[in-house]
Amino acid sequence: MTRRLVAAVLRGAEEAGAETEFVDAAALRIRPCSACTLCYQTGECPKQDDFAALYEKMLGADGVVFGSPNYIDNVSAQMKLVFDRMADAIHCQLFAGKYGCAVATAGGAGADDIAAYLNHVLQVLGADTVGAASVEMVSGPEAFAAAEEKAFALGKDLVAAIETRREYPDQAALHAEVAAGMKALVFANKDVWKHQYGHWTSQGQN
């Protein structure tokens, strides 16, 4: 059912003129991050699996939609595998300038919290988030139809935000704070995290 909400966002985005691509993280072979920190040092993850292609797609997109069901009051393990492989992207704020949104479903409770967490991850990556659509399946088909409609509108709004470079002052303040923290962390490790140090110094922010 989460897939249907993501599909509704993508339909909305397409109607607004975007090219979209759906990726099912659960169908990919993505190994867990093993904290080797090689991506911090080189910008490359040594694991040979499906993550690199997904990462490239996300980095090349103007907008990113995250969707997950509630699994024991959290995102699915498949979604978390993706996130854990993105610590380098967070340290370098590689989603800066992108826009995103989130959708979530739950059997009985907590869908809002899951969507909020997905948007939090987008924001910590550096993206601005335009909103969320979530629904508890226990609320029945009418509630699901309403969430699908909201997801469709969200997709259209995502494209509008991208096209107008919409500004979110609260999120801009958060991005500035996160970026300062990440930069300080990277500078403290500059002798080892050479890729990340090179990223921040090449931004002209050293």
Sites of contact with ligand FMN (CB under 6 A)? 1-3, 69-73, 105-110, 137
Of 109 and 180, the one with the shorter C-beta distance to ligand FMN is 109
Of 3 and 190, the one with the shorter C-beta distance to ligand FMN is 3
β-pair partners for 128: 99
Nearest-approach distance from CB 121 to ligand FMN, in angstroms: 18
Nearest-approach distance from CB 140 to ligand FMN, in angstroms: 13
**What is the DSSP track for 86-111?**
THHHHHTTTTTT-EEEEEEEESSS-H
Nearest-approach distance from CB 135 to ligand FMN, in angstroms: 8
Of 2 and 123, the one with the shorter C-beta distance to ligand FMN is 2
Nearest-approach distance from CB 127 to ligand FMN, in angstroms: 23
Of 3 and 31, the one with the shorter C-beta distance to ligand FMN is 3
Q: Rounded distance, CA 204 to CA 200, Å?
A: 7
Start-end of H helices in the chain: 2-15, 38-42, 51-60, 77-84, 87-91, 111-125, 141-164, 169-188, 194-202
User: For residue 91, which of 167, 198, 170 has the smallest C-alpha distance?
Assistant: 198
